[in-house]
Amino acid sequence: MSDLAVHSQDRNAIEQLIYCYSDAVTRADYAQMATVFAEDAVWESPILEMHFETAREFIDFQADGSSALDVLIQTASNPVIEVLADDRATARTNIREIIRGTSTNDGPYGPTGTAINVDQYGVYFDEISKFAELWKFTRRTFVPILIAQGTIAGDIVTTRPITRLV
């Protein structure tokens, strides 16, 4: 197989990795979220004053921090992927996230108990490596661009975690 074809397959796999993460965030599927990170992956957002040294630390924060959210929808778009080597790549992805509910831990939107109603846009800057033929995030840096407070309106008709309704 040509290098071009291999890199095309790698780009497709990395794009699916990005979408798999956003899907896990939206559905509150923390088991799925764990599959997209290397164990020692770093997640950070310096602007939001957030930094996690391991995937487990970040996933636990996500699970605890979103337990009282009515809605958290993350949409990833326009990933730009650069395959640097057979086992290393970088990506930039535009992100929109709408969040509404109550904060269950101290964070960028206020202390525990704060009502959260946020529509935010930003960019993920990712470092990604291949482990046993699977691409995983080794570092995710989220850079918010716009945070609009108090803008999410509407009725919640499905509660988190979101699963297929039968």
Q: Tell me the mean pLDDT in the region 44-68.
A: 94
pLDDT of residue 39: 96
pLDDT of 3 strictly over 80: no
Asked if residue 59 lies in contact with residue 43, where contact means CB atoms within 8 angstroms, the answer is: no
Q: Tell me: the pLDDT tens digits for 85-103?
A: 999 999 999 999 999 999 8
Kindly indicate the confidence band of residue 161, based on its pLDDT and cuts at 50, 70 and 90.
Answer: confident
Whether pTM exceeds 0.75 = yes
Q: Tell me the mean pLDDT in the region 61-84.
A: 94
Strands of the 37-45 sheet, one edge to the other: 50-52, 37-45, 134-149, 115-131, 88-102, 69-85
pLDDT of residue 94: 98
Which residue has tokens 């970040």? 58
Asked if residue 112 lies in contact with residue 104, where contact means CB atoms within 8 angstroms, the answer is: yes
- Label residue 55 exposed, middle or buried (CB < 10 Å: 0-12, 13-18, 19+): buried
Q: Tell me the mean pLDDT in the region 47-75.
A: 94
**Domains observed in the chain:** 3-149 (3.10.450.50)
Asked if residue 129 lies in contact with residue 101, where contact means CB atoms within 8 angstroms, the answer is: no
Handedness of CA 45, 46, 50, 56 (dihedral sign): positive
Portion of the chain with pLDDT greater than 90, in percent: 78
Q: Tell me: the pLDDT tens digits for 16-42?
A: 999 999 999 999 999 999 999 999 999
Handedness of CA 55, 57, 63, 65 (dihedral sign): negative
